[in-house]
Structure 1
Amino acid sequence: MLIHITPRFFTCDQSGPFVELIDLRIDPLDLFLRGGKELTTRRPYPNKHFAVACRKAGSKAIDWILVDTPNQLPNTRSKCAGRLMQMLS
């Protein structure tokens, strides 16, 4: 079964646009993807407040990830962690 995942988040005025993905974990799939290794944070939309987790392959910002699983899963939630990046001045 193919599962279509669209991990995205909306940055606010308090966090600012400098947000980076740390990791994405989906326990029922035993899936753990690390930011900087398997994932990267990109902004493919005209509204640059939307940050999207993308595969770290190529330079195109594709806002989905396909996961192939052997079984069908019940409704589940995932955990995503992010951090604010320091602006250099």
Structure 2
Amino acid sequence: MVIECKHVWTYISDYLDGTLSEEIRVTVQKHLEHCELCSAILDSTRNILVLTADDRVFELPVGFSERLHQRLEEELKPKKGS
């Protein structure tokens, strides 16, 4: 079974939690072995989890939240031709 990146992204959290069905987990794992972008997203998500689990408090740069939301909206918009 071939899976597209946008579908892998929806499974990242469950993949990290270990709650995917065996079939989906294997499919996502195979995709991650060959896709640098999705592997980077997985690594980034892991890093975010580590940082947010840390008890230390840190301040985000001014405007970070707005830039993050704008970038997420841009990335989630359907691409022309897909």
* TM-score where L is the length of structure 2: 0.24
Computing the radius of gyration from Cα coordinates, the structure with the larger value is: 2
* Structure (1/2) with the larger helix percentage: 2
Highest relative contact order (Cα 8 Å, sep 6+), 1 or 2?
1
* Structure (1/2) with the larger strand percentage: 1
* TM-score where L is the length of structure 1: 0.23
